[in-house]
């Protein structure tokens, strides 16, 4: 990666890492690897409150939580943020032209 691409990558990582961890808490992988129960809704105070949109943290149903996560997650796709094509070209979620 070029320095510019690395900078863009770390910007995305800093912005969306916490979101990824929150979402992972709701997968069966968390239950298997850490033997934790899937969290109840809404989420209580977390250390990520300043990084996660309130509509994700405060949703009361899992359906609404999933819908809000998908909507927010779609903004994490590099191409949608205007970052270099080299970050989006191998992304299976990014539309290819």
Let me know if residue 19 belongs to a domain.
yes
Let me know if residue 73 belongs to a domain.
yes
Let me know if residue 25 belongs to a domain.
yes
- The number of distinct structural domains making up the chain is 1
pLDDT in tens, 57-81: 899 999 999 999 988 887 766 555 6
* Residue 67 vs residues 7, 8, 30: alpha-carbon distances, Å: 30, 26, 20
pLDDT in tens, 10-62: 887 888 888 888 888 888 877 777 777 788 888 876 676 788 888 998 999 99
pTM of the model: 0.67
Domain of residue 61: give its range.
3-88
Let me know if residue 72 belongs to a domain.
yes
Q: Give the number of other Cβ atoms within 10 Å of residue 1's Cβ.
A: 11
Let me know if residue 38 belongs to a domain.
yes
Q: Give the number of other Cβ atoms within 10 Å of residue 65's Cβ.
A: 22
């Amino acid at each position: 990666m070029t320095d510019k691409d690395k900078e863009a990558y770390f910007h995305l990582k800093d912005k969306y890492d916490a979101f990824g961890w929150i979402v992972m808490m709701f997968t069966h992988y968390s239950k298997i690897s850490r033997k934790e129960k899937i969290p109840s809704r809404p989420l209580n105070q977390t250390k990520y409150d300043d990084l996660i949109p309130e509509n994700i943290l405060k949703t009361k149903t899992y359906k609404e939580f999933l819908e809000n996560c998908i909507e927010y997650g779609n903004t994490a796709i590099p191409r949608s943020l205007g970052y270099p094509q080299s970050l989006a070209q191998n992304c299976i979620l990014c539309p290819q032209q």
